[in-house]
Chain A
C-alpha cells in the first residue's frame, strides 16, 4: 500500500503556542481519515499544512513522495491544484459566479475549462438544474454541494474537507456524506476535519487532537486497519511530552467526546 501522505514529527509553533505538536502520521492512498478535536485543537492548522497552504515550523510533510518544504510557492500552488480538492465549512464560493462557473474556476486554474464536465460534476451532486444560479440563490446545502463538485472536478487524489457539514442541516449533511462515501469508493483519499461525531464515524480511521497534541486514534473499519498494518502502516504518534499523548506505537482509543459538539450530546 502506497502512502499518499507522510507527516514526520511536524510542529507548528506560534511563539509559545504549539498549534500542532510533534505529530507523525501516515495516510495511505484511498483512506478516509477524520481529524477530530475541539475548537482550537489544531485541526485546521494541520489541514492547512497538509493542503500546502501553511508550512510546519518543524518536521516534514511528504505528499505523494514529495517533500513540501523543498517546494517554492509556485510549486506548492501546482501541488494544490493537481493533487488536492478543498471543501470548506463556509463554502467560499465566488459570489458573482454561477454554480457551474464556480466549478469551472477550479478547472480554469488546473488545466482546461470544460463546461460539459462541470455540469456533469454538478449532476453528480444533484444540482444540474441549479447550475446557473448564483450562490446567493442557493441554500447552504446546495452551496456545499457546489463546493464538493468544485473539489472533485479535477479528480484529485486527496480531498481535504474542513467541517464540511458544519453549516448544514441533517438532510444536507447526509447528502454530502453520501457524496464522500461515493468518492471514497472510487479510491479517493479523504481527510475530514470535524468535531461532528457522525461525520467522524463515517471515516475508516479517526485521530484526535487536543491542544495540538495527538491524544487518540481509532479505526472504524477493521478491514482497513488490517490492510494498513499489513502494508507496514504504523499508528500515528507524537513526540510531545504531555500527559495523555499518544507517544508510542500503540493507538490510544477514545470515546468520541466530539459527538456532543454538534448534537449537544443527544447522539
Chain B
C-alpha cells in the first residue's frame, strides 16, 4: 500500500466508521445544498414561468402597416402576416392575432368594429373576461362600454351599419399607434378620426345622413370586459366584417406575444426590412412590467439564497467544529507521531470536502425534488434538471464545508501534542 492509499484508507475510515458523526456533517451540508439548489432552480424557472404568464396578458409586440393605399386602407396582406410571423417565430415561441378595424354605425352613432379570427384572439388574450360566447358567424361580441351605452345584453340584437365614407382615411392606421397600449383602440381611433363626411357618396349610397340607422342585424353572443380600450369595440368574425363592408383587405394590426429574450432586437430586425412596409413596436407596458416583476423576484430569491448560504456556512461550521473538537486527542496523537500541521490540515479539509460532497449530492437530488414539487404545485409545470447547476451545487457544498472547517481545523492543528500526555 502506498502513502496515498493509506491517506484514503484513513479518510474513508473516518467517514464510514464514524457514521453517526459523519451523518451529522453530511446532513448539515445536505440541508444547505437542498435549499440552495431548490432556490436556484426556482430562480431559473420563475422568470420563464413569469414570462409565459405575462404573455397571457396580451401582446408584447404589435405590427402595423406603414402606408395605406391611395383609395383608403389596404392593411397587411396575409402573405406579409405569414412572413412577419415567421420572423417572430425564428426568435422564439409566438402567439399572434390579427385585427381589421372598421368604423361602423350603430343607431347612427359611430363605433369601431374589429374583424378577428376568434381562436387567435382568444388564444392571445387569456385575461379577457367574456360574459357569454366569443363571436361567430352572425354573432358579435361587444365591449362592456358598448353594451352599457346601448343597454344590450347577451342574446340581444344589434344592427350595425357600414358607411364606406367613414373609412376612407388618408392617414395610416398605425401612424398614431401608441406603443404603451396594445394598439387596438388607437389604431381604430386613427381611422375614426379620419374623414367622416369627406366623401359624399360611396357605392351609390349617401353617407351624410347621420340619422340613417339601417344596417345588418347581428346577435350579441357575448360581452367582453377587459377594463381597457377593448370595452368600446365590437368584435365580429372576419367573414362577417368582409360581408358587412363588401370588401376583403389586409389587417390593420398584428399583435404578437413573442417569446424572444431580446424583444428590441426583434423589433429592430423587422423595422430594418423596409420592403415589408410594416412597423413593429414593443408594447412597453407589458414588457417593462414583466421585466420589473421578474427582476424583483430574482433579487428576492438571490437575497434568500445568500441568507441560506450564510446559515449553511454557520451550520456546517458548527457541526465540523464540534467533530474536530471531539478529535482533539487524535490530532494531538498524530502530532506526537510526527505529523505536521499541514498534513493534519489536509486530512481534515479533504474529509470536510467529502462530507460536503456527499451532502451536496444528496441535497441536490432532494433540492431538485423540492423544486419540482413546488413548480408543479404553484405553476402547474415541471422543470427540467439543470446539470450545470447541479454540478455547481455539489462543488459549492464541498467548498462551503471546507471553508467552514478552516477555523476549527486551524485551531486544532495548533494543539500542543503534549496535551495527550498530560494525564499523570
Residues from chain B with Cβ under 8 Å of A150 in the complex: 337
B315 interface residue, CB < 8 Å from A?
Answer: no
Are the C-beta atoms of A89 and B423 separated by less than 8 Å?
yes
Residues of the B chain whose Cβ atoms lie less than 8 Å from the Cβ of A134: 17
Which residue among A40, A82, A101 has the maximum number of chain B CB atoms within 10 Å of its CB? A101
Which of A110-118, A174-182, A199-207 lies at the interface with chain B? A110-118
CB distance from A35 to the nearest CB of B (A): 12
B337 to chain A, nearest CB (A): 5
In the complex, chain B residues 367-394 whose Cβ is within 8 Å of any chain A Cβ: none
- Interface window among A73-81, A226-234, A247-255: A73-81
Q: A124 to B251: give the CA distance in the assembly, Å.
A: 100
Q: Is the CB of B330 within 8 A of A54?
A: no
B3 and A105: CB pair below 8 A? Answer: no
B105 close to A (CB within 8 Å): no
Complex interface: stretch among B27-35, B298-306, B413-421: B413-421
- A44 to chain B: closest residue by CB: B424
| Proximity string of chain B (169-199) to chain A, C-beta cutoff 8 Å, 1 when within and 0 when not | 0000000000000000000000000000000
At the interface, yes or no: A225 with Cβ under 8 Å from chain B?
Answer: no
Contact check, B421 vs A88: say whether CB atoms are below 8 A apart. Answer: yes
- Contact yes or no, B13 A101, CB < 8 A: yes
Binding-face segment, A21-29, A59-67, A90-98, A236-244? A90-98
Contact of B337 among A43, A80, A95 (CB under 8 A): A80
Q: A163 contacts which chain B residues (CB < 8 A)?
A: 424
Q: Which of A40, A106, A108 contacts B424 (CB 8 A)?
A: A40
Task: Specify which chain A residues have a CB less than 8 angstroms from the CB of B3 in the assembled complex.
Answer: 108, 112-113
Given A80-B338, A86-B336: A92 in contact with B422 (beta carbons within 8 A): no
C-alpha spacing A86/B417, complex, angstroms:
12
Cα distance A178–B407 in the bound complex, in angstroms: 45
* Structural contact, B421 and A39, CB atoms closer than 8 A: no
Q: Do B424 and A43 touch across chains, with their CB atoms under 8 A apart?
A: yes
Q: With a CB–CB cut-off of 8 A, which chain A residues contact B338? A: 77-78, 80-82, 106, 109-110
1/0 contact string of A144-172 vs chain B (CB within 8 Å): 00000010000000000011000000000
> SS class of chain B's interface: helix, strand, loop or mixed?
helix
Closest to B15 in A: A96
Q: How many residue-residue contacts, CB under 8 A, span A and B?
A: 95
Q: Most chain-A Cβ atoms within 10 A of its Cβ — which of B339, B416, B418, B424? A: B424
Q: Which of A1-9, A45-53, A212-220 contacts B (4 or more CB under 8 A)?
A: A45-53
CB of A104 within 8 A of chain B? yes
Contact status B340-A77, CB under 8 Å: yes
Cross-chain contact A53 with B9 (CB below 8 angstroms): no
Interface readout for B1-23 with A: 1 if CB under 8 Å, 0 if not?
11101110110011001100000
A108 close to B6 (CB less than 8 A): yes
Q: Does B133 contact A (CB under 8 A)?
A: no
Say whether B350 faces chain A, with CB atoms less than 8 Å apart: no
Chain A residues with CB under 8 A of B18: 95-96
Residues of B within 8 A of A86 (CB): 336-337, 421
A96 and B334 in contact (CB under 8 A), knowing A53-B418, A104-B6? no
Q: Is the CB of B421 within 8 A of A94?
A: no
Nearest-neighbor residue (CB-CB) of B7 within chain A:
A108
Is the CB–CB distance between B421 and A53 below 8 Å? Answer: yes
Of the candidates B14, B330, B343, B417, the one whose C-beta lies within 8 Å of that of A53 is B417
Of all chain A residues, the one with the shortest Cβ separation from B344 is: A109
- CB contacts (< 8 Å) of A162 on chain B: these are 421
B284 on the A face (CB < 8 A) = no
Chain B residues closer than 8 Å to A105, beta-carbon distance: 6, 10, 334, 337
Shortest C-beta distance, B362 to chain A (Å), equals 22
**Residue pair A109, B343 in contact (C-beta under 8 Å):** yes
Contact of A48 among B17, B334, B335, B418 (CB under 8 A): B418
B102 to chain A, nearest CB (A): 86
Q: Mark B315-357, 1 if CB is under 8 A from A, else 0.
A: 0000000000000011001111111110100000000000000
A44-B422 contact in complex given A101-B10, A104-B6, A105-B10, C-beta closer than 8 Å: yes
What is the bound-complex CA distance between A39 and B7, given in angstroms? 38
Q: Is the CB of A77 within 8 A of B423?
A: no
Query: B6 to A113, Cβ gap below 8 A?
Result: yes
Contacts of B337 in A (CB 8 A): 80-81, 86, 105-106, 109-110, 150
Interface residues of B (CB under 8 A from A): 1-3, 5-7, 9-10, 13-14, 17-18, 329-330, 333-341, 343, 416-418, 420-424
- Identify 20 residue pairs between A and B in the complex whose beta-carbon atoms are under 8 Å apart, listed by A's number: A44-B422, A53-B416, A53-B418, A53-B421, A86-B421, A92-B329, A92-B333, A92-B420, A94-B10, A95-B18, A96-B13, A101-B9, A101-B10, A105-B10, A106-B337, A108-B10, A109-B338, A110-B337, A113-B6, A134-B17
Residues of A within 8 A of B (CB): 39-40, 43-44, 47-48, 51, 53-54, 73-74, 77-78, 80-82, 86, 88-90, 92, 94-97, 101, 104-110, 112-115, 134, 150, 162-163
Using A77-B339, A95-B330, A113-B6 as known contacts, list a sample of 20 further A-B pairs with CB atoms less than 8 Å apart, ordered by residue number in A: A39-B424, A44-B422, A47-B421, A53-B417, A73-B341, A74-B340, A77-B335, A77-B340, A86-B421, A90-B423, A94-B330, A96-B14, A96-B18, A105-B10, A105-B337, A106-B338, A108-B3, A108-B6, A110-B337, A110-B338
